[in-house]
Amino acid sequence: MSRMFFDRYAAPGALLALLGVAWETCTRAFEVPPWILPAPSQIAQAAVLSGGTLPEHLRTTLIEAGVGLAIAASLGVAVALLMANSALARRVVYPLIVISQNVPLIVLAPLLVIWFGFGMLPKVLVVALVGFFPIAVGMTEALLRADPELIELVRSMGASRMQVLRTVRLPYALPAFFAGLRISASYAIFGAVIGEWVGASSGLGLFITRSQRAFRTDQVFVAVIVIAALSIALFYIVGFVARLAMPWQAATTEESS
């Protein structure tokens, strides 16, 4: 396990360390103003000094991302089941889902704030809209591609439509669901921050906006690093849950590697 971890992350870690050293050296050698490009040491210092205010913003963004992701997963599964079981629903709903993904969030977020105010709801809705598409589309395709011979076999044994769904289609679609959920999780924090940029009383988006107005570029970098770390963490948490839910999939992956 430790050897696998080292082989996977040693090279990227070494590259990041080299880039950090080069960044620190260049900013100090060329005396770059901190409000343009702070050195990594200045960013680290800003992270320590932000310890009193950053956790509250972090908590708000995490709650918005978590609730929005849960809504996206629930709605995505429901719509996928509807489209997989109804050709009419696929013809009517699928084009609307595709069209919805062509509306920029930066345009939609102000409308949500106008309609629902400056509270948590608009941010949760933005996250849900970001995460809904990959789950719904991926799971719909997987449900439709379930092994037809296995479906016919189960039906020949007297299984009802619901039993076919539970015993064949859903297990077949689980990998697609978690693949879509991982994509949605990686964008959940980003969606919450987009909503917070438009209007919020707390959150990492507000932290970035205030830092930008104060020309605290070091604090902006702190927020960017935190957002990236949270997105990566959510991605791997979903992967861990997927391995628990589909142990056979994990075993197959390990054997093939």
Q: Are 222 and 50 in contact (CB under 8 A)?
A: yes
∠ CA(91), CA(102), CA(137), 5° rounding?
45
Q: Is 221 exposed, middle or buried (0-12, 13-18, 19+ CB in 10 A)?
A: buried
| pTM (two decimals) | 0.86
What's residue 158's pLDDT?
84
Mean pLDDT score, 241-247: 88
Is residue 5 pLDDT above 60, yes or no? no
pLDDT digits (tens, 9 = 90+) for 60-90: 999 999 999 999 999 999 999 999 888 898 8
Q: Is 194 exposed, middle or buried (0-12, 13-18, 19+ CB in 10 A)?
A: buried
Scored b (16 or more CB within 10 A) or e, 97-111 reads: beeeeeeebeebbee
Is residue 1 pLDDT above 50, yes or no? no
Query: Amino acid identity, residue 57?
Result: H
Q: Are 76 and 135 in contact (CB under 8 A)?
A: yes
Q: Where are the domains of the chain?
A: 50-256
CA atoms within a 13 Å half-sphere pointing along the CA-CB vector of 23: 14
The architecture in CATH of the region 50-256 reads: Orthogonal Bundle (1.10)
